[in-house]
């Protein structure tokens, strides 16, 4: 485990006394450094922002893996509003995959928990490579033209966005679909199947000029608009007001469409 080693603690242990003795500022700095390293060096088999599976220890929050609970319909059927950004994967995808073979190796390592069925693994991997081609124009960040609600500022004249390796855009597209957008759609379909009412979804597609072009509309890009912060650093005020009205309306009336 790279994180404990960063703060001078044993790499693998069930005893947390060492980590508990480390100052919070040092823990925070180590966490930032470990997370940032995912975009600098190959971390085959590893991903940042993995969910905490506390059910394996004491089941305090969840009695089983979240996927199992959702698949069994064990979730509250209350109104929900959820969404994702246009380029969810740019912040978590590796930037150093130089060719298609390295991309395939990365996908195989991070995607498959069980590779004992080689025929099934190869078939799934083949479909992934087909759905996420090497064509850089199909990668993330995606083109983002202005709309009635968004000032879409992605530079569509430059399909590469430094760094220019198409494997990064390919990896960003896959990472977004695998970790964010596909689970999102699956969950909403399951809620719909359970006859849940008040299901609202959105795709946030505003790329601000102060954000590096290669990031596009990256993970959590909508938060400054929800809270109305960053007006002097690229925030598009009309869209922020629209989002705030929608959130407030949802909280009060379970419907994000304000009157």
Average pLDDT across the chain, whole number: 80
pLDDT at 48 over 60: no
Which has the higher per-residue pLDDT, 231 or 223? Answer: 223
Query: Of the ranges 5-14, 100-109, 210-219, which is most confident?
Result: 100-109
Which has the higher per-residue pLDDT, 180 or 56? Answer: 180
Residue range 100-144, pLDDT digits in tens:
999 999 998 888 878 889 999 999 999 999 999 988 888 898 877
Sign of the dihedral defined by the CA atoms of residues 214, 176, 157, 228, in that order = negative
Exposure string for 178-208, b = 16+ CB within 10 A, e = fewer: bbbbeebeebbeebeeeebeeebeeebbbbb
Helix, strand, or coil (residue 152):
coil
pLDDT at 195: 75
pLDDT at 76 over 70: yes
Residue range 148-198, pLDDT digits in tens:
666 666 665 666 666 666 799 999 999 999 989 998 998 888 888 777 778
The residues spanned by each domain of the chain are 61-253
Give pTM, 2 decimals: 0.76
pLDDT at 180: 92
Q: What is the CA radius of gyration of the chain?
A: 20
């Amino acid at each position: 485990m790279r994180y404990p080693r960063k703060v001078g603690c044993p790499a693998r242990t069930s005893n947390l006394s060492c980590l508990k003795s480390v100052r919070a500022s040092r823990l925070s700095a180590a966490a930032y450094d470990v997370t940032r390293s995912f975009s600098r060096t190959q971390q085959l088999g590893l991903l940042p922002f993995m969910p905490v599976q506390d059910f394996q220890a004491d089941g305090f929050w969840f009695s089983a893996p979240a996927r199992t609970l959702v698949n069994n319909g064990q979730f509250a059927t209350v109104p929900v509003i959820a969404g994702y950004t246009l380029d969810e994967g740019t912040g978590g995808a590796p930037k150093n995959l130089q060719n298609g073979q390295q991309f395939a190796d990365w996908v195989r390592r991070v995607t498959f928990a069980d590779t004992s069925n080689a025929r099934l693994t190869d078939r799934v991997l083949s479909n992934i490579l087909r759905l996420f081609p090497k064509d850089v124009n199909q990668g993330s960040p995606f083109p983002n033209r202005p709309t009635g609600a968004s000032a879409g500022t992605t530079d569509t004249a430059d399909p590469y966005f430094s760094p220019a390796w198409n494997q990064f855009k390919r990896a960003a597209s896959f990472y977004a679909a695998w970790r964010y957008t596909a689970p999102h759609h699956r969950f909403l379909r399951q809620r719909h199947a359970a006859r849940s009412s008040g299901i609202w979804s959105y795709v946030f597609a505003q790329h601000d000029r102060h954000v590096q072009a290669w990031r596009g509309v990256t993970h959590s890009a909508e938060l400054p608009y929800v809270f109305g912060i960053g007006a002097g650093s690229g925030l598009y005020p009309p869209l922020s007001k629209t989002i705030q009205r929608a959130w407030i309306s949802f909280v009060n009336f379970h419907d994000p469409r304000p009157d």
